[in-house]
Structure 1
Amino acid sequence: MAELEQRATHATWWSALEILARYGMQLCVMIVLARVLSPADFGLIAMLLVFTSIGALLVDSGFGTALIQRRDITLDDETTVFTFAITSAWILALVLWFTAPAIADFYRQPKLVSLTHLMVFLLPLGALAAVPDALLTRRLDFASRARAEVFASFIAGAAAIALAMAGFGVWSMAWQAVIALGLRAVLLARYARWIPQGRFTRTAFRKLFGFGGYMLLARLLDMAYVRLQALLLGRFFDASTLGYYTLAQNTEQAPSSFIGSLLNRVGLPVFSEVAEKPKQLRDALRQSLRVSSFLFMPCMIGLALIARPLIELVYGTRWVNAAPILSLLALASALWPLHVLNLAALAASGRSDLLFRQEAIKKLFAIGMVTAASPFGPLAVAGAVLASSLLSAFINTWYIRRLLDYGLLKQLSDQGRTIAGCIVSAIAGSLLLHYLPSTPWIVSGTILIAGLLYLIVARWLNNPAWKAMLRILDNLRHHTSPHAHE
């Protein structure tokens, strides 16, 4: 386990740098664009992402995850995935191109026709990166990924800001997405040193789809649930209302997507190495949950507390309607490591059938709650997301309890000291924000005091996650030392 922990630490370090740089860049660009563009512009892009996001999942079809999960893959496996991805991408792009008028009619937004005709190119560009992306993840080569993601995000972000300042409006965000995916595809292929060398075979397709098919269905349900929120709000309300919800969702997803991508990317290959040893898999899951919850949970609870002053300070007062939505969505994400890591452990065990069954039950409840809440507005939808997150915590741990004897109660018990620290620091922070004016200095000081109090409680309660963090930091210090590889 020591060697596996060192490899996981190394992979986590580079993966964290890559994802942090990418999402950090995207967040900075979004802040600038929010100052220049209108809520309606953000709403229009959100309407189209409903279709392009689901299309991207159909293009991948779970084959990327299957390439990572399998112990041995061949050149035919790689070429089969590439051929399927690029073919399905162009087919779906053509479907979206010709259905653009229907999409515009559904939302009652004529501008969506021309926007759709540009954004359909996201699908083939994403398909080009499918195999190189999976291969670099399989090798835990996140240093190369970091270079590709940072460069692509920087160039695309700079282009979006320039277009927005020049008065191109919503088109700046559309071109940002296209440029980012195009550069990413080229760079990942270069760093992976991959070109198709095998053949498309039915044997490889069936072998990979046996695992990837269930992963596709599970991810489709998850994506349908997330994008359904925009679909219904865009249908029942105007683009500006959806824009407020989209900005709150994007702000919440900056940290949650960061931790989700990081845990999925590192967790699946690391868990896959010990998948046939239940005790080691349980230990790896337990350790990962402790450390990730220790870092992530207080961040999301803190984000919920400072939502209003943060929105006003970062995006401007015209976005203040997004603040209560952000608070609810941030609370809904507090248990995100528990969701992500349990699913990764189940996928690593090769039980994608159980994962799909679990996702189907969970998402049917969640979709029902969001659908019922959507006529009442974005705040009601955010409340439904919070309720579904709490229900999902129980469902996501159901099969892990059976396979590893590590269910929800045991997992929450392991996070007990972390939860106690969050409660203490949240109470202190809320009292300070209630009785003091919400100036930038007061908000910054509140965050600092609450963070220090959280660490003091962790030390006082002898939180195992605190010790694990110190050990990880020590590993990183040795790994990044100038003499580490001599």
Structure 2
Amino acid sequence: MKRKSASRPTFFANVSAMAGGRVLSIVAQILILPIIARYLTTSEFGAVALAMGIVVLAQLLSDGGLGKSLVRRPDYVAEEWDSVFWLLAGIGTLLSAVLFMTAPLWEALFAMPGLTELIRVLSIIPMIQSLSAVFNAALERDDRFVLLGGLRIVSVILSLGAAIGLATNGFGAWSLVMQQIVLFTTLTIGAVIASPFRPRLRLRPKWLRGHLRFARDTVGTSLVFTLQRQAPIMMLGFVLGAGPLGLYSMALRLLRLPELGLAGPASQVVFVRMARRSSDPAGIGALYLAALRLLALVIVPGMFCLAGFAPELIPLLLTDRWGNVALIFALAAPAFAIESTTSMAGMAFLAAGQTTLRLRMATERAILQIATIAISVPFGINALAFALSLFAIIYTPRLWWYAGRIAPFSRKKALGAIAWPVLSGIFIWLILAMLVSSLENQTAVFLFVLAIGMAVIGWVLAALPQLSELRGAIALFRKDEGTVAQVKDST
């Protein structure tokens, strides 16, 4: 697998490409939600959300963290990459088979007719994802994030086209199922075609040993985080049924926009930079603080703005049947904004090789959050949404304590990086609360334009008190480009 020495995209070009691909895909999803929502019931949404929640538990094992482990390697060894590929291919196939065979048990557990067929069709996803892991790792290692962003755009467009076509022709829940299958299949085919990696039939255990500890802790951490994330879905489905779960699932599609559109793509790019500083804890901490500051500026005011507009915007876009989604979104928005903003801490643990400590932190957090969810679910969806936000606020200092142990950074500066965007967001939300009565009977276009305008005001108010710090964060990533390029050229 040879890498070209041609000029490489800068950090911000890579993030822009990845985020641009995600943002465009998110915009496309937002545009089709009003269509899908008119053809599917809340119960159908809930059934697919539950099926995907079960499949996700297998998905996280399909990579095993081995893709990230390969990216961390300073040198490329063909036998090593081939061995990891075939190991993952076997794991993915096994996971898909287990899902297919256990599908009836899940239907019996949740007493939800039709769940077996949904899980069996979706069970192919872990195998597809495991086959693409090494190809994606090769593209990430070569800094080909622009290409990865383009692949995501194409995949999302095709998958959403399939969803619309099937939904409008009466296929109900199957339109969402096929959306997922088309998405992962297209991403895999694109990665295989674009990647320089070509596997040969060889599996050498000696090349796997160096990855086992990393994979063990990474899989354990991913399993814990996934259980934490899927706990609301599982508990809602078990306690309240498919209808309320459908409302939460729709709110979740909107709540995850910051993670999917910005935090997720940025973490892929930032991880490569952090990994190059694996022997420099202070350098990793500086990169984390810079990423935290930039993400908080973009995400937090925007989420507060959306929360303020939700009561008017969501019923207008999705019909009154989905009106209750607005309150769920507003109550849970702080949780998802904080988690997206602080999520880069996970990349710091991985880059420093402190996967065991990350697993410990993740386990502690999951136990506490699942307990919080279990207590709040019997009181309904709104209580659950509020509990999630309250937990995220309370646990953030503890997260920083863990991260500071492996990558020293100023927690006072970290708090300041979040405080200004939060204050700005609250100010915008209060203005919207006073304007809410005058927003009745407005068109979707007017509300969108007004939302963008208010978000811009929020971003400006959040940026002004910390202009010098923001310039420093941007300068740090630009300065890091030279180091990354030198290291890559030397390999």
Q: Is this a same-fold pair by TM over 0.5?
A: yes
Show the counterpart of 2:488: none
- How big is each residue's C-alpha offset from its partner over 1:85-120, in whole Å with a ceiling of 9 and x where there is no partner? 221222122222121211111121221122222111
Superposition deviation, residue 356 in structure 1: 0.8
CA distance in structure 2 between the aligned counterparts of 1:383 and 1:132, rounded to whole angstroms: 40
Superposition deviation, residue 193 in structure 1: 3.0
Superposition deviation, residue 231 in structure 1: 1.0
Match of 1:294 among 274, 297, 300: 297
Give matches, 1:117-136, under 5 Å.
Answer: 117-136=120-139
Give matches, 1:61-210, under 5 Å.
Answer: 61-197=64-200, 199-210=202-213
Superposition deviation, residue 444 in structure 1: 4.1
Could you tell me which runs of 5 or more consecutive residues in structure 1 were left unpaired when the two chains were aligned: 476-486
Show the counterpart of 1:392: 395
**Is 1:464 the equivalent of 2:478?**
no
- How big is each residue's C-alpha offset from its partner over 1:281-322, in whole Å with a ceiling of 9 and x where there is no partner? 233222222111111111111122222112112211110111
Judge conservation of contact 1:275–1:348 (CA < 8 Å) in 2. yes
Superposition deviation, residue 16 in structure 1: 1.4
Show the counterpart of 1:447: 451
Show the counterpart of 1:411: 414
Judge conservation of contact 2:297–2:459 (CA < 8 Å) in 1. no
**Is 1:321 the equivalent of 2:324?**
yes
Q: Single out whichever of 5-14 and 120-129 deviates more from structure 2.
A: 5-14
Match of 1:368 among 371, 380, 385: 371
CA distance in structure 2 between the aligned counterparts of 1:77 and 1:381, rounded to whole angstroms: 45
Judge conservation of contact 2:292–2:341 (CA < 8 Å) in 1. yes
- Number of positions where the alignment pairs a residue of Structure 1 with one of Structure 2: 472
- How big is each residue's C-alpha offset from its partner over 1:35-89, in whole Å with a ceiling of 9 and x where there is no partner? 2111111111011112110101111111122122332342222222221222122
In structure 2, do the counterparts of structure 1 residues 361 and 267 end up closer, same or farther at CA, with 3 Å as the change threshold? Answer: same
Write the letter of the residue equivalent to 2:382.
L
**Is 1:35 the equivalent of 2:52?**
no
CA distance in structure 1 between the aligned counterparts of 2:273 and 2:379, rounded to whole angstroms: 43
Superposition deviation, residue 459 in structure 1: 6.1
Judge conservation of contact 1:67–1:134 (CA < 8 Å) in 2. yes
CA distance in structure 1 between the aligned counterparts of 2:401 and 2:242, rounded to whole angstroms: 39
Show the counterpart of 1:478: none
SS at 1:334 equivalent: helix
Judge conservation of contact 2:81–2:134 (CA < 8 Å) in 1. yes
In structure 2, do the counterparts of structure 1 residues 59 and 452 end up closer, same or farther at CA, with 3 Å as the change threshold? Answer: closer
Judge conservation of contact 2:421–2:459 (CA < 8 Å) in 1. no
Superposition deviation, residue 455 in structure 1: 4.6
Show the counterpart of 1:260: 263
Judge conservation of contact 2:282–2:408 (CA < 8 Å) in 1. no
Two-structure CA RMSD over aligned residues (Å):
2.6
SS at 1:193 equivalent: coil
In structure 2, do the counterparts of structure 1 residues 310 and 80 end up closer, same or farther at CA, with 3 Å as the change threshold? Answer: farther
CA distance in structure 1 between the aligned counterparts of 2:242 and 2:145, rounded to whole angstroms: 38
Superposition deviation, residue 435 in structure 1: 5.6
Match of 1:281 among 284, 289, 293: 284
- How big is each residue's C-alpha offset from its partner over 1:400-451, in whole Å with a ceiling of 9 and x where there is no partner? 3233432533311244433343333333233222565362366446424533
Show the counterpart of 2:253: 250
Superposition deviation, residue 21 in structure 1: 2.6
Q: TM-score, length-normalised on structure 1? A: 0.90
Write the letter of the residue equivalent to 1:453.
I
Show the counterpart of 2:4: none
Judge conservation of contact 2:129–2:184 (CA < 8 Å) in 1. yes
CA distance in structure 1 between the aligned counterparts of 2:156 and 2:367, rounded to whole angstroms: 35
Write the letter of the residue equivalent to 1:406.
F
In structure 2, do the counterparts of structure 1 residues 262 and 327 end up closer, same or farther at CA, with 3 Å as the change threshold? Answer: same
Could you tell me which runs of 5 or more consecutive residues in structure 2 were left unpaired when the two chains were aligned: 1-6, 480-491
Judge conservation of contact 2:297–2:463 (CA < 8 Å) in 1. no
- How big is each residue's C-alpha offset from its partner over 1:320-354, in whole Å with a ceiling of 9 and x where there is no partner? 11111111221112223442112211211111111
In structure 2, do the counterparts of structure 1 residues 456 and 89 end up closer, same or farther at CA, with 3 Å as the change threshold? Answer: closer
Superposition deviation, residue 183 in structure 1: 1.5
Write the letter of the residue equivalent to 1:188.
A
| Percentage of identical aligned residues | 21
CA distance in structure 2 between the aligned counterparts of 1:211 and 1:473, rounded to whole angstroms: 26
